[in-house]
Structure 1
Amino acid sequence: MKNILFVASEAVPFIKTGGLADVVGSLPKYFNKKEFDVRVMIPKYLCISDKFKSQLKYITHFYMDLAWRNQYVGILETKYEGIKIYFIDNEYYLTGDKPYGEMFTDIEKFTFFSKAALSALPLIGFKPDIIHCHDWQTGLVPVYLKDRFYQSEFFSGIKTIMTIHNLKFQGIWDLKTTRDITGLSMYYFAPDKLEAYGDANLLKGGLVYADAITTVSHTYANEIKTSFYGEHLDGLMNARSNVLTGIVNGIDYHEYNPETDSLISKNYNLKNFRKEKVKNKIALQEELGLEVNPKKFMLGIVSRLTDQKGFDLIAYVMDELCSLDVQLVVLGTGDEKYENMFRHFDWKYHNKVSANIFYSEEMSHKIYASCDAFLMPSLFEPCGLSQLMSLRYGTVPIVRETGGLKDTVEAYNEYEGTGTGFSFTNYNAHEMLHTIQYAMHIFYNRKREWNKVIDRGMAKDFSWKASAKEYEKLYHNLTLN
């Protein structure tokens, strides 16, 4: 039996700001229970809902030195869907109405969390073979393990994995402050360790000291070795490419299942989607005040409205897009310029464009189930989950070939009769527009072919099962060495 501990700053259903929480909360359930005892450790934020806090059981507490002070560390636990979850408690660091705030307080908060996570292990009677760390918030775990914990017999032989969910976020602060807070010696603040461009970089520390590095798709693992995607760490990613692998994320196939989803108007499956799926479209057209027409090509977007997600491309051709025989349904919040742009086009083309500038889990499910196609023209996309959800619901993805989008959406080839979606290569607004027009041409003029694209997409398996098998292989290899 191998013991694995996930250490992360968030996990569903307890606390979530992004895709990281989905991975940490969902993936552990899918490992082979006979071979792996997988547990999770996260901070006990004050903003976790009382419903969950009331289920936590106190284990013990201790005091730990950090940043000139002796800090209280409480350890609590609960079991959720068969997985043991540990919570690190400290009211000084973990107050506030959201998990992240100012970078300065975050650096100290997650330095505390990383050190406390390691310090807690002997007290909970769980010695991991592997500590699986996620993003910069846990970047100091591999560093501390090699530093002050290395001498202790309990910690000998523990391996670490660092998973990058988005290389853009690195945990950067000035050297002096970081040295004072972490208590690490000058030795660690050299260019081949935590120092980067005159500052301290917590993610870099984790990437230097981890025994293995993963990221959330095969293509993104290659992209981050280039200067365009590498966020100034491409040199390090190349240097460590021998221990870098890409494993694509999955989605929860119980939660995202058109056959049983209670949030959509009409349930359907791979066998009957030709008749039943369109009933969701009609219901959504009625709900949003769009022209009710089952034959109209409906394009969906569920996203943060930011440059990273390709909204500058959409803005550039929005008038041209609205002149086509199309309906556009948008859900999400983000940059004010994009929020206002969609509001404007909703006003200008009210029976064609529906701008829903908020976030709603229920509405997102309705869009995945109702639309004919789903647009994701991202500048970069480490993995992306929306395209996996749209494939699951028989909504054809139209994506730019980057990161996880390239790995999970196979471009339609009309000559070979293959593909699960439509894609374009260059970050170019008119290339995107032509791809949308090509998809519309197949939808309107070659309906049988369109339905076969849906068939192939819905038959794909992007559940966590496949990802878990890849991680199991990695864990085996790591514990052999």
Structure 2
Amino acid sequence: MKKILFAASEGVPFIKTGGLADVVGSLPKCIDKQYFDVRVVIPKYACIRQEMKDKMRYVNHFYMDFNWTSVYVGIFEAEEEGVHYYFIDNEYYFSGGKVYSDDPKWEIERYAFFSKAALSMLPTVNFQPDIIHCHDWQTGLIPVYMKERFRGGDFYSRMKSVITIHNLKFQGKWDTKTVRSITGLSDYFFTPDKLEAYKDANLLKGGIVYADAVTTVSSTYAEEIKTPFYGEGLDGLLRARKGDLRGIVNGIDYTDFNPESDKQIVNPYNAVNFRKEKVKNKRALQQELGLRQDDKKMMIGIVSRLTDQKGFDLIAYIMDELCQDDVQLVILGTGEERYENMFRHFDWKYNDKVSANIYYSDPLSHKIYASCDAFLMPSLFEPCGLSQLMALRYGTIPIVRETGGLKDTVEPYNEYESTGTGFSFTNYNAHEMLNAIRYAEHIYYDKKREWNKMVDRAMAADFSWHVSAAKYQEMYDWLTG
């Protein structure tokens, strides 16, 4: 049996700030237990909910040399849905009311500590992984330390490492002198072919240089990040490592996101009865949000962070034009003030057509996926994206820009062959997006049978974690073969 350790800064159900936590919480459950023993290590944050802390058991503690002093490392463990979790405890590094701080130097120190502690704890808990699977820059030092101070001796000598890039924009950068002091790594590691990038130390770069394999969260994004536009300054390195780089699309939890058993929606439905039953959710949402009640009106949903990355500059540009069309728009999310205010303005101006919900609510997000006819996601870049997968699952047709995971998961509609699960546009251009939305409106209003067949195909698409898990297993076998 092969042993795998996931190392990450967050994981469901213990702590979550974003999509990374969903991956770390869902993927290990779906990997075949017959062949793999997958465990997870994350920090024991003070802000973890008490009911989750109550599930943890103290295992042991030790002291570790770190940042020129001897530091306490506590180890706790818990079992959750058949997956074994370890938690690294240190009040100095992991206290506070939220997971991340706004101080990049402090973040680097905390996660350097976590990376070293995660490796140091392994003999103590008697777990000797074949592969350590690291996620994002917070664990980028693990592959570096594995090739440095943990290299000697039998215990660590055969371990391999993988790093998964969830979003290349976040890299963990600070000045070289400070990072060298914090990590205890020698000058040898701070050169342009190792951890140094543009005069700074870069933890994600270190992970990419030293890991035995590199993955990212969709095959298109794996290609895109080898280009200057998407490469965030690391495209040269990613081209150099292209033989070890692969893209595996994320999945979603098909038990959490299931229109047939979803407790958060008004009227459950499935792929067989959606023609009659799905519309009852729309009716209820129109009533709840004060929109004009009309079963036949096309409703477009948006659930997102309101930022440039998600394409809201395009939406702002054509919003007045779009509001002249025979559609309703339901927006849920928070973000940049100008976009929050833009949606509030259009909600005021077109009150029976636009509903701007500038906050976040999990129940309302489920209602939007279940009630809307289409889902708009025009991202500038999107490593994987989960919202379009949820929309497909609920038979809500995605309208997306062809980038990253959106391109890999939404098949554009072809009216001549009657294929496709959504609508897409190629260039980052507001009127190209508007044309895609209007083409969707045309099919919705004038070719309803074609639209319903598209819903059939969307609901039949399988983006559950089991599909992705099989690809990760293949990689683990290749790496340890």
- Same structural fold, with TM-score higher than 0.5 when normalized by the shorter chain: yes
- Corresponding position: 1:52 with 2:52: yes
Query: What's 2:416 paired with?
Result: 415
Query: 1:59, 1:348 → 2: CA distance?
Result: 59
- Corresponding position: 1:97 with 2:97: yes
**How do residues 339-354 of structure 1 correspond to structure 2 at under 5 angstroms?**
339-354=340-355
Secondary structure in structure 2 of the residue aligned to 1:317? helix
- Corresponding position: 1:177 with 2:178: yes
Query: What's 2:149 paired with?
Result: 148
- Corresponding position: 1:67 with 2:64: no
Q: Report Cα offsets for 1:24-69 as digits up to 9, x if no partner.
A: 0000000111100000000000000111111110000000011111
Query: What's 1:361 paired with?
Result: 362
Query: 2:399, 2:82 → 1: CA distance?
Result: 37
Q: Tell me the CA shift for residue 477 of structure 1.
A: 0.4
- Corresponding position: 1:288 with 2:319: no
Q: CA RMSD in A?
A: 0.4
- Corresponding position: 1:43 with 2:74: no
Query: 1:64, 1:341 → 2: CA distance?
Result: 51
Q: Tell me the CA shift for residue 144 of structure 1.
A: 0.2
For structure 1, the residue ranges without an aligned partner over 5 or more in a row are none
Secondary structure in structure 1 of the residue aligned to 2:233? coil
Q: Report Cα offsets for 1:333-384 as digits up to 9, x if no partner.
A: 0000000000010000000000000000000000000000000000000000
Secondary structure in structure 1 of the residue aligned to 2:92? coil
**How do residues 16-27 of structure 1 correspond to structure 2 at under 5 angstroms?**
16-27=16-27
- Corresponding position: 1:425 with 2:422: no
Query: 2:129, 2:280 → 1: CA distance?
Result: 50
Query: 1:295, 1:383 → 2: CA distance?
Result: 32
Query: 2:220, 2:241 → 1: CA distance?
Result: 16
Q: Report Cα offsets for 1:309-355 as digits up to 9, x if no partner.
A: 00000000010011110100000000000000000100000000000
Partner AA of 1:110 in structure 2: Y
**How do residues 436-447 of structure 1 correspond to structure 2 at under 5 angstroms?**
436-447=437-448
Query: What's 1:81 paired with?
Result: 81
Q: Tell me the CA shift for residue 259 of structure 1.
A: 0.2
Query: What's 2:337 paired with?
Result: 336
Q: Report Cα offsets for 1:107-128 as digits up to 9, x if no partner.
A: 0000000000000000001000
Q: Tell me the CA shift for residue 152 of structure 1.
A: 2.3
Secondary structure in structure 2 of the residue aligned to 1:41? strand
**How do residues 92-241 of structure 1 correspond to structure 2 at under 5 angstroms?**
92-101=92-101, 102-241=103-242
Query: 1:354, 1:471 → 2: CA distance?
Result: 41
**How do residues 444-455 of structure 1 correspond to structure 2 at under 5 angstroms?**
444-455=445-456
Q: What is the TM-score when the length of structure 1 is the normalising length?
A: 1.00
Query: 1:113, 1:220 → 2: CA distance?
Result: 28
Partner AA of 1:224 in structure 2: I
For structure 2, the residue ranges without an aligned partner over 5 or more in a row are none
Q: What is the TM-score when the length of structure 2 is the normalising length?
A: 1.00
Secondary structure in structure 1 of the residue aligned to 2:62? strand
Q: Tell me the CA shift for residue 2 of structure 1.
A: 0.3
Q: Tell me the CA shift for residue 208 of structure 1.
A: 0.1
Query: 2:78, 2:264 → 1: CA distance?
Result: 29
Query: 2:383, 2:68 → 1: CA distance?
Result: 38
Partner AA of 2:17 in structure 1: T
Query: 1:20, 1:107 → 2: CA distance?
Result: 18
Q: Report Cα offsets for 1:209-257 as digits up to 9, x if no partner.
A: 0000000000000000000000000000000000000000000000000
Q: Tell me the CA shift for residue 169 of structure 1.
A: 0.2
Query: 2:316, 2:185 → 1: CA distance?
Result: 47
Secondary structure in structure 2 of the residue aligned to 1:413? coil
Partner AA of 1:4 in structure 2: I
Secondary structure in structure 1 of the residue aligned to 2:286? helix
**How do residues 249-264 of structure 1 correspond to structure 2 at under 5 angstroms?**
249-264=250-265
Matched positions, count: 480
Q: Tell me the CA shift for residue 414 of structure 1.
A: 0.1
Partner AA of 1:47 in structure 2: C
Partner AA of 1:411 in structure 2: P
User: What is the percent sequence identity of the aligned residues?
Assistant: 71
Q: Report Cα offsets for 1:262-286 as digits up to 9, x if no partner.
A: 0000000000000000000000000
Partner AA of 1:449 in structure 2: E
